[in-house]
Structure 1
Amino acid sequence: MSRLRSLVADTRPLENPHFKRLWRANIVTVVGAQLTVVAVPAQIYADTGSSAYVGLTGVFGLVPLVVFGLWGGALADVFDRRTILICTTVGLIGTSGLFWLQSALGNTNVWVLLSLFAVQQAFFGVNQPTRSAVLPRLVPIEQLPAANALNSTVFMAGGIAGPLVAGALIPVFGLQWLYLIDTVTLLATLSAVVRLPSMAVERAAGVAARAPGLRSVVEGFTYLRGHPVLLMSFLVDIIAMVFGMPRALFPEIAHESFRGPEEGGIAFALLFAAIPAGAVIGGVFSGWVSRVSAQGRAVVVCILVWGGAIIGFGLAVGIAGAQDDVGVRHAFLVVAVLMLVVGGAADMASSAFRSAMLQAAATDEVRGRLQGIFIVVVAGGPRVADVAHGAAAAGVGTAVAATGGGVLVVVLTVVAALAVPSFVRYRITRAAGPV
């Protein structure tokens, strides 16, 4: 029994009442947020019948997320972080309420919907780096990987449950109810952040706060340049996501390699669900992450596993595409999905360690800006991967594009580790209690 307990998720961070309230609130709010993620493109397509307009959600979502993610990190290094969380949560509730209102009034103007989506992502961009910067003030340093794993597990589980719930509710209740559910569930997060203690930034003696403008954002990048271990945590994530995230190929792979219908089907759904499912499984059995002190080495190993899993995925896709026997293709579909599940679990662990390194190794007065950069990298990397993999597949095919991407992840990660050995040697210093 004790061995099993050591394998499952480390729940010690939940002993902190503030973290526990935030985490419990996330369980419902993440699902609610995913309902809106599904509802917005569904409404745009229903109103316009155009996938091109649906594709604009990428632009209207990413640009404010990048701009306000960076600026939000600068804000979090100046103002009380509890106050920022309250204001941005109220903003998210307000935009979700406006989504519901425009739907209830029968709005069909796509630009109104896209503008609301951009405003929502701006509030999200400020909220997320602030929330991450708060974490080291709530739990001890050695529990940060466990806390990040718990948060990632909830996020990924919501990414699976939200679309399933949305798919079941849309035909019965319509889109406006999805927006309303999102609005109501956000009240749980508001209740949790209101009950946080004051979170004023802790500064070294004689260090004054700088106005949260462009110069402050630039200082965050300058700080990274002087800390190669932290800089490497971003670089290896970019390598893993840009070269090793083949999600843009899933529709073509499902149709061409596994003979699914053009509009979707079981293979399509399994491919898209596999990485989040792996992350959830990895989160459930993440008890080991709290016992790892050599976090730099752990990140490298996790990304190598991710790259190896993507290589296996690409090979399975290539073999399946050459088969005429349905049973053989189905067998390799199982192999491909399992490879993505393994990759998702490895990526969850890598993310937990990298987040903990940023939160623990940086001083409090720059944590917000570094978390802002982290949000931009996490959001931007997969989108760059979509473009890169799509272009590569057009030239060499999906199997070679996916396999080659995995090979590049392995090779470039090894090169980066050899170039910056201090990253591989990075270990945490155990602390007696919260910062």
Structure 2
Amino acid sequence: MKKIIINGGKPLQGEVSISGAKNSVVALIPAVILTDDTVTLDGVPNISDVDSLVDIMETMGASVTRTGETLEINPCGVENIPMPYGKINRLRASYYFYGSLLGRFGQAIVGLPGGCDLGPRPIDQHLKAFAAMGVTVSYEGDSMHLTTPHQSLHGAHIYMDTVSVGATINTMIAAVKADGRTVIENAAREPEIIDVATLLNNMGAQIRGAGTDVITIDGVEKLHGTRHQVIPDRIEAGTYIALAAAAGEGIRIKNVLYEHLESYLAKLEEMGVRMTVEEDAVYVEKQGSLRAVSVKTSPYPGFATDLQQPLTPLLLSAEGQGTIVDTIYEKRTNHVPELVKMGGAISVDERGIAYQGPNHLTGAAVKATDLRAGAALVIAGLMASGQTEISNVEFILRGYSNIIEKLSALGADIHLVTD
């Protein structure tokens, strides 16, 4: 059992560089299965989700070489073997193997996905799209069997009933080698979708409209290898910007794409956060008093659900009252009782999260219940007086590359220990 120990109240200064996007790379790696040639990914974050995906790829027969932040994958030896539940359920994004295996083999046997418990996160839109492309779905124990009549998919016109990043990417991956044209309407528009489409197009796919609500894919017979730079992680960037405003005395966050964070940075400006947006960085000054604001999450380009929790400790330092309403995941409130343990005036009711500030947080023994809740507790621990002990840190290590090293370099008194 690993824990993170933070002795809070230390002045944080300096620079931190943002790693490649977790929500991109967890789709990019499975997408490589669609070719027999070598694909090189640069800017791959050092996170446990990548470790799990590499393990799955090697189990399937791929050759993977990892050097720093570069991942070289040769999928030539990949076989269509059943993917065991134990490996697949380590992470939510394992469902991208559905699309890539269907695209390569026309069939797949995979375990059901795992990941953070954020309430109902059905994969019905994925399965609806696959069905439109000729896939039959059946269940046997913990596994899902996906089959096609002639071991190939055909193009289809698909309307997503709800805007879903995962379903949009998965459908796009499956459609790349399908026979004919596939059109996805009401598609999600997140930057990670554009990143995956860029990789696939560089491999020889014909995808148009990624980043809009209508994506068109004309199937191709064969894909080839390529080299691809993963985009910066906008959620990690937003997390460090909130951290810098909450506990920093002048921090520059580098490798940031401003256009991916416009709604988030606008909310910080509404709070009165003093920062300077540079060409590929954001400099956050030491803050004075801040104003409480209300937050409501929505699909991109709105306020990202993944940034709601990391922002919460900063909100607790602001003057006044506010609310947080997450329209994407109803259970994204599990960080609230942990922040209460640290002295936060924050609660959950039928409308969402209500808070009042400013609060002086104190260290406590708390538990990360999911990835972004864990990030919130790290920020709270850095703000708090005294020692904070965070358990269930496996969630945090799933999505924040080298977090202990990055925070230590800023002056944090933070350690990862084995209990």
Please confirm whether the aligned pair reaches a TM-score higher than 0.5, indicating the same fold: no
Higher strand share: 2
Higher RCO by CA contacts (8 Å cutoff, separation 6 or greater): 1
Structure with bigger helix share is: 1
TM-score, length-scaled by structure 1: 0.22
TM-score (norm 2): 0.23
